[in-house]
Amino acid sequence: MGKLGLDPEVVRRARELAVRAGQPVVDLARSHTTVSVERAVLRLAGVRGADSDGIPWVNRLVDAVRADVGLGHGVAVPVFHALAAEGLADVTVLAQKAAAGAVRFGVPEKKGEVTAARRAARRAANAGLKVVDRRRAERERLIRRWGDAPRRPWIYLIVATGDIYEDIPQAQAAARAGADVIAVIRSTGQSLLDYVPEGATREGFAGTYATQENFRLMRAALDETSRELGRYVRLTNYASGLCMPEIAALAGLERLDMMLNDSMYGILFRDINPIRTFVDQRFSRQVHARAGIIINTGEDNYLTTADAVEAAHTVTVSQLLNEFFAHEAGLADWQLGLGHAFEINPEVPESFRLELAHALLARELFPDAPLKWMPPTKHMTGDVFRGNLLDGFFNLVGALTGQGILLVGMMTEAVVTPWLSDRDIALQNVRYVLSGAGNLHEDFVPAPGGFIQGRAHEVLGEAVGLLERVVEDGLLNAIADGTFGIMKRPADRGKGLDGVARHEPGYYNPVTEALES
């Protein structure tokens, strides 16, 4: 099977185990909701703006419904029943009145009132989804008009100043220098905010806040540059943290093209409650599927905490779980930017061959996915010459194994915030390797039975063994035991657990209804 001679039965077994491990979590997600899921519903239904303290009206509205009737029925029916009872046409006005304590919410008991509230909620939510559909069609039209990146992998470069008005010229300069995907990294700590800031922001720390207005501004700027360059430049942000569903909805409304959206990253590295995360990620991925957005998963992060050789199989297990969760939510293979990374200590003997084996294993397990290949960070030392060489090795592995999305590594990575000149040198490195060896994957075939094939088989076998244990113990228990990234995260702890609710009989969500139909 392919260049690695993988046993199709072992591969089939791995995917079967991933389904068995993931299905109980999907069942859990299907029977629960969260404050962020309900806020995403109301954002798509038209709630806009924030109060004088910067708290979005959608938060105020969901909090008011929750205080009166809880979340178990969903917010759509109580909100649209109250909208009719108050004689209002604007759900944002209802939110403002609710925040002032002027509206009380209830779950209607008469069948006719329930039907009318559902019909009104469905109409409002579908109007939001139609905007998402138009934005997806707009992307496809602009790619036809302006053209696409002329090669794979797409070159992915991060911008992170904290000020959206500084990010914009840097992003445009990066696109002119050859970047195909611009990622606006999110402000430190935003994943733990249980609201989405409003408006354009200029004060992020080590990144820029993910807001709808920031999305709109950057998308418009990159459209100008796309027109200038004659190729469509893609935009990435983060649909993760406590507001994952809402940010996914805003990304769809503003035509973002990729979103970081990993099933376990928030659990492991931000201590967000596992149940909250799995419920939120399923809804967010359904929105991404509808919007035609490519997700980027976060397996590379495991190797910044665990040893990249010993824990290589945990990356494969996470990729298989992310694939299952994504397919179940409606994402196609072309939308699966599954993550992996070049993070083996370069002092380890045969480190380059090991990286080749791991990267090629990912490529062959997911042949139709645009894998996201991440550069070295853990073993960057501040020696910029060594770092630039290490990034060159990383770029070469990407070329040899046909990766789909290549994040530009910089020689000052994980040491200082890179300067514009650092990015320029890093892009030169990428261009040189891809120009000189970009099609080398057509010629590269590991020796049958040799080191690279043997290592790939070993990692896949270890992944199957771990999946068997996860199936036996349960995925939530495996996460609690520190199986992934050595972080131990019990299901009954973590941030955001108080924002989770089990569905009551009659729970209604018009967005889920539309996305699943």
User: Whole-number mean pLDDT of the chain?
Assistant: 95
Is 478 inside a domain boundary? no
- Angle formed by the axes of helices 420-437 and 164-176, nearest 10°: 30
Q: Which of 452, 476, 505 is the last residue of a domain?
A: 452
27 has pLDDT over 80: yes
pLDDT in tens, 209-230: 999 999 999 999 999 999 999 9
Q: What is the DSSP string of 210-256?
A: --HHHHHHHHHHHHHHHHHHTSPPEEEEE--GGGHHHHHHHHHHTT-
Select which of 257, 300, 391, 422 is catalytic: 300
d(CA 322, CA 263): 6
Could you tell me if 290 and 407 lie in one domain? Answer: yes
Could you tell me if 274 and 356 lie in one domain? Answer: yes
**Which CATH number covers residue 434?**
3.20.20.440
pLDDT of residue 103: 96
d(CA 328, CA 26): 8
Please tell me the total number of residues recorded for the chain in this structure. 517
Q: Known catalytic residue: 195?
A: no
Q: Which of 452, 471, 488 is the last residue of a domain?
A: 452
* 485: Cβ contacts below 8 Å, ≥ 6 apart: 268, 269, 301, 302, 305, 306, 311, 314
Could you tell me if 263 and 401 lie in one domain? Answer: yes
Q: What is the pTM of this model?
A: 0.95
Select which of 232, 372, 422, 495 is catalytic: 372
pLDDT of residue 482: 87
Structure tokens at 373: 């290949």
Select which of 265, 302, 507, 508 is catalytic: 265
d(CA 138, CA 55): 31
Q: Known catalytic residue: 265?
A: yes
315 has pLDDT over 80: yes
Q: How many domains does the chain have?
A: 2
Instruction: Compute φ and ψ for 372, nearest 5 degrees.
Output: -100, 115
Could you tell me if 318 and 428 lie in one domain? Answer: yes
pLDDT in tens, 397-418: 999 999 999 999 988 876 666 7
Q: How far is CA 10 from CA 336, 384, 445, in A?
A: 22, 42, 21
Could you tell me if 60 and 175 lie in one domain? Answer: no
Is 89 inside a domain boundary? yes
Could you tell me if 162 and 114 lie in one domain? Answer: no
Section 119-137 average pLDDT: 98
Is 487 inside a domain boundary? no
Structure tokens at 431: 């261009």
Contact present, 326 and 26 (Cβ < 8 Å): no
Is 307 inside a domain boundary? yes
Contact present, 375 and 416 (Cβ < 8 Å): no
Section 32-57 average pLDDT: 97
d(CA 272, CA 388): 35
Could you tell me if 52 and 161 lie in one domain? Answer: no
d(CA 265, CA 302): 9
> Quick one: pLDDT band at residue 382, thresholds 50, 70, 90?
confident
Angle at 193 between CA 270 and CA 172, to 5 degrees: 90
d(CA 231, CA 248): 25
Could you tell me if 78 and 208 lie in one domain? Answer: no
Could you tell me if 205 and 58 lie in one domain? Answer: no
Section 488-501 average pLDDT: 96
Q: How far is CA 479 from CA 31, 267, 268, 273, 339, in A?
A: 20, 8, 8, 11, 19
Q: Which range among 248-257, 331-340, 382-391, 416-425 shows the weakest confidence by mean pLDDT?
A: 416-425
Contact present, 354 and 455 (Cβ < 8 Å): yes
- Helix, strand counts (H, E) of the chain: 19, 11
Is 482 inside a domain boundary? no
* 276: Cβ contacts below 8 Å, ≥ 6 apart: 34, 242, 494, 495, 496, 497, 499, 500
Q: Which of 452, 471, 498 is the last residue of a domain?
A: 452
Task: With H, G, I as helix, E, B as strand and everything else as coil, classify residue 341.
Answer: strand
d(CA 228, CA 214): 21
Section 199-207 average pLDDT: 93
Q: Known catalytic residue: 432?
A: no
d(CA 272, CA 279): 12
Could you tell me if 311 and 200 lie in one domain? Answer: yes
* Residue 423 structural domain: 151-452
Is 500 inside a domain boundary? no
d(CA 75, CA 80): 8
Q: Measuring CA to CA, which residue among 286, 441, 310, 421 is closest to residue 373?
A: 441
422 has pLDDT over 90: no
Is 18 inside a domain boundary? no
Could you tell me if 244 and 364 lie in one domain? Answer: yes
Task: With H, G, I as helix, E, B as strand and everything else as coil, classify residue 405.
Answer: strand
Bigger pLDDT: 240 vs 120: 120
Residues forming a β-bridge with 405: 154, 372
Q: Measuring CA to CA, which residue among 488, 509, 503, 453 is closest to residue 7?
A: 453
Task: With H, G, I as helix, E, B as strand and everything else as coil, classify residue 258.
Answer: strand
Is 347 inside a domain boundary? yes
pLDDT of residue 420: 73
pLDDT of residue 498: 97
Could you tell me if 400 and 348 lie in one domain? Answer: yes
Contact present, 193 and 241 (Cβ < 8 Å): yes
> Which strands form 339-341's sheet, in the order they lie side by side?
336-337, 294-296, 258-260, 234-238, 181-184, 154-159, 405-407, 372-374, 339-341
1 has pLDDT over 80: no
